[in-house]
Structure 1
């Protein structure tokens, strides 16, 4: 590497894209990148989005200091993130999901200030204002009440709280672990990455540097993604990781110990149908959502 560059902290900002408008995110990161007065790059890889979103994001292709790659077919959430290893020029990879926005003017500087750690997670938040559309309330409510974790909680649970939406990792570390490319569909690919980091005793450093989740799906789509994610969770279990700390699995194991799993299996099909109607309403219950996930997980465990 050029000796002049060795004085800088060199960062590659990696944005995997799928069916979302990233113009504002890219513009914000570009402005912050220019303010740090040192080399950086932004890489956007589009995982075969619809023509509608490809047209919206087309201006990015002509922006300075940005590499935009559009894939001819969809390759999935894990494989697309692994692609950044070979494409990026620098050793610090900052991953940001396409459906998030940066609110802090110090976002990049906050990461650069502590970039010597192997892995850094910045956190996420949801906007506190209720969505105008009633069919988005389940996703919003779950994000606000469950996914948004306090900084103290993340400090005490660094692996359990890790998500792939907003993190910095050394390329040398990422080459060793990577995302499991058998995970093509939505859900828990980041859970598996965190388990692998824990297994290898690679620490996740927590920083209070959250981004806001803007991609609130409609209730029906969120339920579909939830079922897909639970199927992936079953795949993680088959890889012999210790995942008892995951709340859904811990609940299932306690129920199984009490011999209640077969009873819940019997009522699961009709029960899920009834619960789903409530979850698709304008006043979804998170308690019923947790029960819905448990019933689906029990069905997965019994190959139903």
Structure 2
């Protein structure tokens, strides 16, 4: 029936697994919950070891780092059931019918995505950039997600048929952070798999600090250019790439790069401060994208 796959890094996943285990037992289904720490060597793994006491559950701490894509692929290879439910280790289950809702929506679909939410209140001023971008840009209802079926798909809180996942998998050749969901969603769009968007969100628990998220943003933009250069994604699939191509074609890319260089310090100050501005964050993203040196 259902293999729940939980990749994690330096996080206490036990409360999440306890809730998932309870709901699976209540639904009276065949299931397994596989948790895999990506070689964090975290002291929190003392708590994570308790997962192994629960029926049909396992926790493993890897000796060598696979990176997020590799960890997800590894979990999928170990899964023994036909349906895979990917849930990141820092997720929080906010509905007591979470598993049941997925079971009720399996019919006639290859992929079912439940969505993700950020807390109504930001945990701290030092996390405001990631929280703002998540809450006001990324968090979408199922109705809005259906308008862009594939582009709205994130692989946290996603249920997918195993045979469908095996046709695509995560690109193990790319090691940097970012746009792994974009690339996999693009591959699924080429296969024209059937996607269902439902209202069954998890909450994002471990929100990055401003500095960490800004550095991750830079790395993800570098990854996006890499995918573009290696023709692993179509420009039409990503709005940011469409804008990048327009700036490049109209010879404005160089100007944006110079503006970014001149104002990067001031943008950085705002975005890592107490009141980061999302408009300035978008300017940062565009400017940094234009500043990345291409291979050709």
CA 89–31 in structure 1, closer or farther in 2 if over 3 Å, else same: same
Say if 2:84 is the partner of 1:93: yes
Aligned partner of 1:282 among 266, 274, 282: 274
Match of residue 111 from structure 2: 119
What does 1:167-182 align with in structure 2 at a 5 Å threshold? 167-182=158-173
Aligned residue in 2 for 1:292 = 284
1:146 matched residue in structure 2: 137
Checking the alignment, whether the CA contact within 8 Å between 1:77 and 1:183 is kept in structure 2 is no
* 1:7 alignment partner in structure 2: none
Instruction: Output one character per residue of 1:112-148: Cα deviation in whole Å (capped at 9) or x when no partner.
Output: 11223211111101111122x2111111111101110
Q: Which moved more, 1:77-86 or 1:138-147?
A: 77-86
SS in 1 for 2:43: helix
Of 202, 211, 215, which residue of structure 2 is paired with 1:211?
Answer: 202
* 8 Å contact from structure 1 (residues 234, 301) kept in 2: no
Alpha-carbon offset, residue 262 of structure 1: 1.2
Displacement of 1:301 in angstroms is 4.6
TM-score of the aligned structures, taking structure 2 as reference length: 0.94
Q: Which one of the candidate residues 11, 24, 36 is aligned to 2:15?
A: 24
Q: Deviations over 1:243-269 (max 9, x none)?
A: 334232222233334432111112322
Decide which of 213, 218, 224 is 1:233's aligned counterpart: 224
Superposed displacement of residue 176, structure 1: 1.1
Distance of 1:114 and 1:205 partners within structure 2: 8
TM normalised by structure 1 equals 0.92
Shift of 1:96: 0.4
How far apart are residue 64 of structure 1 and its match? 2.1
Given the superposition, is the C-alpha separation of residues 264 and 302 from structure 1 closer, same or farther in structure 2, using an over 3 Å criterion? farther
* Most deviating of 272-281 and 230-239: 230-239
Q: How does 1:1-304 map to 2 (within 5 A)?
A: 10-116=1-107, 117-131=109-123, 133-240=124-231, 241-302=233-294
Q: Quick one: distance in 1 between partners of 2:228 and 2:195? A: 22
CA-CA distance at 1:61 after TM superposition: 2.5
Q: Give the unaligned 5+ runs of structure 1.
A: 1-9
- Checking the alignment, whether the CA contact within 8 Å between 1:126 and 1:213 is kept in structure 2 is yes
Q: How many residues align?
A: 293
Give distance in 2, aligned partners of 1:285 and 1:243.
27
Q: Deviations over 1:25-49 (max 9, x none)?
A: 1011010011011211111111112
Q: Which moved more, 1:240-249 or 1:63-72?
A: 240-249
Q: Can you list the C-alpha shifts for 1:147-184, whole angstroms capped at 9, x where unaligned? A: 10122211111111110111011111111111111232
Distance 1:216 1:85, change over 3 A: closer
SS at match of 2:166: helix
